[in-house]
A and B are shown apart, each in its own frame.
Chain A
Amino acid sequence: MSFVTFEFALLLASVLTLLALVRSTLGRKLILLAASCFFYAYWDWRFLGLLATVTVVDYYVSKFLFATQSARTRRWLLVISLVTNLGFLGFFKYFGFFVDSLNALLVPLGWHLGTLSIILPIGISFYTFETLSYVIDIYRGDARPARSMLDYAIFITFFPRLVAGPIMRPHQFLPQLEHGIQLNWANLAGGAQLFVRGAFKKMVVADNMAIMADQVYAAPHLFSSGTVWLGVLAYSIQILFDFSGYTDMALGVGRMLGFHLPQNFNMPYTAQSITEFWQRWHMSLSSWLRDYVYIAFGGNRRGQFRTYVNLMATMLLGGLWHGASWNFVVWGGLQGAFLALERGFYGGRPTNGPWKSPLTWAKATAVFVLVTVTWVFFRSPSFDATGVVLRKLFFVDPAGLVWPYTWALLAVPLVVLGGFVTRTFALGLPAHATRSSYAVPLIITEALLVCFLSPLNVSPFIYFQF
């Protein structure tokens, strides 16, 4: 069930009504859990069993982990959790990729392993990282287990962020749940404002950009170099607004239900370095990778060379997390290589300069172009298509169709330069913008623009496939 459907509106309205009618904490929690299960089952009810298994295993593992003092038992309990979570993730997400890759090596030798068609359970990458962080935090002594199985089940299945994050840590969510579900007008209005802004980002900006990006990536050989550049830039804008639009909607729904979810984006295309980009892009994933992969590998404590290796390995895994394909591996590898290069170049010095300097604008533009070019690996349907797009980008080929897509010509400079100007002059919404006298017209305007400017065919959220 997507956020931008009538069914979801009905579900949200029903949940809010029921929560308003039921006063008991237990009743409200049960309503949340039931709604989350229904939301998930609407895609494919069969995977509810998988979700339930992971929930039960991790709840009891963490309970025993917290109770026992024996290092050996604790290690074994951690292994059980890791094997369960990563086993499911590995099987559903990577088994096909592994077999296909192996077949590519074996077929020339006359062997073939056969293929198995496996459906990817939606949201598995997101909730697996949440269950892992829960168990690892308790193993490290950084967190306490949830008070009850019900609380833990709600933490894992909480429907606003179940399928595409933000990836939450137990300490960010469980205390809010223990504090009780807070329904009030301020949360409802604030949440609605966030939701409509997210819908605008997704349905107006991202979906209009998708029209161009889809055409160019489907047949890059048909278009001239200039058009391919515009298509690639359009995808940069699409992926940001698609995912941050989804996140705003998730945050909005969470807020309406009385929960504060963490921000996932902070103007990433104004980053002055790839390091800063990752501090601003999909922040819940990058902080997760930092805390549970990079630091677990040793971080920067084992010398310069090992730091580079750790950065590379973390980003390779990050790439693979996005999808089981060599394109994502290369994309992750490139990000890791850029991070390592920056580490070598800057050392411990800050990468950021003052925004009023033209050099900063040049640096931020260069980082934006670099990020945009690496998205080519992320978006291309195959390595062949990647090759064609890169050839068109870097070896000027005026032959081909010229398509100066108006929306992309408007959106790319507006988003990028708008971000630069915002940071240069430290612009922000005035404090009174959240007051209802300003917020209500803003919500109505954004809703009108969604109705007027969104293309009729809404494309699926990009991050739902991960």
Chain B
Amino acid sequence: MVRDPRVFHDRNRRIVRDVARAGALMLLVLAGLEVLLRTCMYSPGITYVVDAELGKVPGAGTVVVWGTEGHGVTHYVANGEIATPYSDGASVVVLGDSHTEAFQVDDNQKFVSIAEQLLRQRGLKMDLHNLGASGATLADYAYIAPFVHRRYDPTLVVVQIEQSDFGDEGFDQRRVNHFILQNNALQLVHIPLLDSGPTAGRWLRRSLALVNYGYFRYEQIHTRQASSDARGEHSIDAHSARPDQTPGIASLELQALRDAYAGVPVIVLVLPEVPKISNHQIVREDRDYVALVQTVLGVANWSVLDPANGFRDLAAQGRLPRGFANTLPGEGHLNTNGHAVVGASLAARIESMTR
């Protein structure tokens, strides 16, 4: 039997047309998703630079859109430094972790910016430098101290800490800066970081929000799995001598920080984890937090800033300092309410110390 070539030809044309239509439609959908992600959820990968002193930090000019917890747009004005409203006046350096970095809110809603604005309103010309970095530990703050002195010549340093800063992360030997406990003394170790250069994967992540967000989701699932595995391991290893469980280790870490910033007044901002929802109630008091504040007070003649009362007032008005409209209330990072309270407390403390 002879096959009619026209039928064969028509079928092939139809297949080609269908594939082309599917491809075009898919491209259109992906482009729409890319735009949606960039504007609402997640920017393409941050361009990190390896700074000789600060380590691996977002480079100047980087813009981060963050919508997975709260929603904020963050601009970097220098390597590792987040924009604040003003850039003149007496220099104040603010060190901290993701609460100071605060990707979850816009630049002008971060507590550093709020404090700077409030100080201006009260006639104090201060230039607050926000050096907040996710995952930063006391070892990082101690290591960058000479750089902070040299570059910013601060009249005041603010260090934001919370209970989780005294976990085992500061002793993780894979980290660029970490402590080692030897003969009841801490030694600061720095591993020089080399720029490993661009790879196809990194280039894709920096170019496309879709790829970057996909990678972020993969990491989230991976971390979740790893932490659930690690929980099992820790329960077996609960009585081993982990550095973070050594009595007095928090004091040693704080002493290392005190020595690093010896020549300059320091405000230690201790963020409480309360008020939060636990067992279907709002928990307002936390004994561990009170103990931490006491430890900080006992180590150095530092000014300790404790916003717990402000947070409790918030809760009394039906608002919690942590949690966002797209996450659970009372959990995670500081929200705009929390930043407002911390910003106001910080401004008041800086004002009282400088007048």
A residues in contact (CB < 8 Å) with B? 211, 215, 218-219, 222, 224, 398-407, 409, 435-438, 440-441, 444-445, 448, 451-452, 456
Contacts and interface: CB of A to CB of B under 8 A. Distances in A.
Given A435-B18, A437-B19, A452-B214, A407 B318 contact: no
A452 B328 contact: no
A404 B325 contact: yes
Contacts of B25: 437-438, 441
B19 A224 contact: no
A441 B280 CA distance: 44
Contacts of B328: 211, 215
A441 B32 CA distance: 13
A222 B325 contact: no
A404 B277 CA distance: 16
A219 B281 contact: yes
Contact of B213 (A211, A437, A452): A452
B21 interface: yes
Contacts of B284: none
B221 A441 contact: no
Given A219-B277, A437-B25, A456-B224, A451 B325 contact: no
A407 B26 CA distance: 26
Contact of B29 (A218, A398, A407, A441): A441
A441 B29 CA distance: 8
B325 A219 contact: no
B326 interface: yes
A401 B318 contact: yes
A219 B319 contact: no
B217 interface: yes
Interface string B18-39: 1101100110010001000000
Contacts of B217: 451-452
B220 A456 contact: yes
Given A437-B25, A441-B26, A448-B33, A222 B18 contact: no
Given A215-B329, A451-B214, A401 B22 contact: no
B291 interface: no
B18 A437 contact: yes
Contact of B326 (A407, A438, A451): A407
B308 interface: no
28 contacts: A215-B277, A215-B329, A219-B280, A222-B280, A222-B282, A224-B318, A398-B318, A401-B319, A402-B318, A402-B319, A403-B329, A406-B325, A409-B325, A435-B18, A436-B22, A437-B21, A437-B22, A438-B21, A438-B22, A441-B26, A441-B29, A444-B26, A444-B29, A445-B29, A452-B214, A452-B217, A456-B221, A456-B224
B325 A405 contact: yes
A400 B282 CA distance: 10
Which one of B29, B213, B221, B224 has the greatest number of beta carbons of chain A within 10 Å? B29
Of the listed residues A219, A401, A404, A406, the one surrounded by the most CB atoms of chain B closer than 10 A to its CB is: A401
B118 to A, nearest CB: 25
A440 B224 CA distance: 31
Nearest to A448: B33
Interface in B60-75: none
B71 to A, nearest CB: 9
B114 interface: no
A443 to B, nearest CB: 10
A403 B320 CA distance: 10
Contacts of A219: 277, 280-281
A438 B319 CA distance: 46
Contacts of A444: 26, 29
A406 B280 contact: no
Contacts of A456: 220-221, 224
Interface in B218-250: 220-221, 224
Contacts of A211: 328
Interface of B: 17-19, 21-22, 25-26, 29, 33, 213-214, 217, 220-221, 224, 277, 280-282, 318-320, 323, 325-326, 328-329
A441 B19 CA distance: 10
Contacts of A402: 318-319
A405 B326 contact: yes
Nearest to B28: A441
Contacts of A404: 325
A406 B326 contact: yes
Contacts of B224: 456
Contacts of B22: 436-438, 440-441
A401 B281 CA distance: 11
A224 B318 CA distance: 8
Given A219-B280, A401-B329, A406-B325, 17 more contacts: A219-B281, A222-B277, A222-B282, A402-B318, A402-B319, A403-B323, A405-B325, A435-B18, A436-B22, A437-B17, A437-B22, A438-B25, A440-B26, A444-B26, A445-B29, A448-B33, A456-B224
B325 A403 contact: yes
Contacts of B282: 222, 401
Nearest to B23: A441
B34 to A, nearest CB: 11
Contact of B318 (A218, A400, A405, A436): A400
Contacts of B326: 405-407
Nearest to B25: A441
B319 to A, nearest CB: 7
A452 B209 CA distance: 12
A238 to B, nearest CB: 16
A211 B69 CA distance: 14
A401 B320 contact: yes
A400 B29 CA distance: 42
A404 B318 CA distance: 12
A445 to B, nearest CB: 5
A343 to B, nearest CB: 41
A452 B281 CA distance: 32
Contacts of A435: 18
A381 B26 CA distance: 44
A396 to B, nearest CB: 14
A440 to B, nearest CB: 5
Contacts of A399: 318
Interface centre among B214, B220, B221, B325 (most CB of A within 10 A): B325
A207 to B, nearest CB: 14
A70 B17 CA distance: 66
Contacts of A409: 325
Contacts of B33: 445, 448
A441 to B, nearest CB: 4
Contacts of A438: 21-22, 25
Contacts of A445: 26, 29, 33
A409 to B, nearest CB: 8
A188 B126 CA distance: 67
Contacts of B280: 218-219, 222
B18 A436 contact: yes
Interface-centre pick from A398, A399, A400, A456 (highest chain B CB count, 10 A): A456
Nearest to B41: A452
A437 B18 CA distance: 5
Nearest to B71: A406
B264 to A, nearest CB: 40
Contacts of A398: 318
A402 B316 CA distance: 12
A318 to B, nearest CB: 31
Nearest to A211: B328
A153 B220 CA distance: 43
